[in-house]
Amino acid sequence: MNHCMFDGIGAMEFVNSWAETARGVAELTVPPFLDCSVLKARDPPVHTFPHHEFAEIPDVSDTAALYGAQELLYRSFCFDPDWLERVRGLALADGALGCCTTLEALSGLVWRARTKALGLAPEQRTKLLFAVDGRRRFSPPLPRGYFGNGIVLTNALATAGELLSAPVSRAAGLVQEAVRMVTDEYMRPAVDYFEATRARQREEEHQRAARPASHRDGRLPRAHGRDMIDLSVMRSNDGHGWVAIHTCIYDA
């Protein structure tokens, strides 16, 4: 299974349907909706929303030179429900946010901590990029059982100085704003953008693959092909949510 076919929700619905078929169920609980034309790009494309998630950020901190030769260490940090509530309380402590989810608070905390740990220049722009399920955010919503990619990338932008000079509530608030801006008006231009730049993206991918790993797009080098931080949401046996952070740390 590959993201070229469907996203995580589509994958799980496929697995569940496969299991139901193996059990001899006469009618699937969630029949697949196979008409992907519901997300067809408009002709001509309409670019009415700035999509910074696709823009590359100059590496003014020269992180490739600073950390390129250092070994990366993998570490996992698990947050149980009590710790998640403490993190959320930290994001709400100064009263700047009326409310926030634990995921918004934790994402802001990790974004800020990573920025500090890397010693980025204050003027270095940083981007937190993450996926949001757009199925119910389209107008009209995507049909139940949509067999394809219904997620959309959104992003929060800030300089390193902005993140580190403000409390965690600032980073969590930026994450919150990034989630809120995912509307039909945001997602439709993203579909148009993908279609309009498909050929150019293929060419850029070929060029990027030909460069040394530590010099691709001025990004931080990857460890064995993995990103620096991975947030995994799991569920414990008692039904409470757990979050695990898998991160690479430069060995000084």
Digit-by-digit pLDDT tens for the chain (252 residues) are 777 788 999 999 999 999 999 999 999 999 999 998 999 988 888 887 777 887 888 889 888 777 777 776 777 888 899 999 999 999 999 999 999 999 999 999 999 998 998 889 999 999 999 889 999 999 999 999 999 999 988 999 999 999 999 999 999 999 999 999 999 999 999 888 888 777 566 666 666 666 655 444 444 433 333 334 455 444 444 444 444 444 433 332
pLDDT value of residue 164: 97
**Residue 63 confidence (pLDDT):** 81
**Domain 8-66+74-210+222-248 CATH class label:** alpha beta
Cβ-based neighbours of 248, under 8 Å, separated by 6 or more: 72, 73, 74, 75, 223, 226, 228, 229
Structure tokens at 182: 């995912």
Residue 203 pLDDT:
65
What was the pLDDT predicted at 78? 86
Q: How far is residue 203's CA from residue 5's CA, in Å, rounded to a whole number?
A: 21
Burial of 77 (0-12, 13-18, 19+ CB in 10 A): exposed
Nearest residue to 121 (alpha-carbon basis) of 173, 73, 162, 175: 162
Residue 51: predicted pLDDT: 79
Domain ranges of the chain: 8-66+74-210+222-248
How far apart are alpha carbons 147 and 1 in whole angstroms?
12
Q: How far is 72 from 61, CA to CA, in rounded Å? A: 19
pLDDT of residue 204: 66
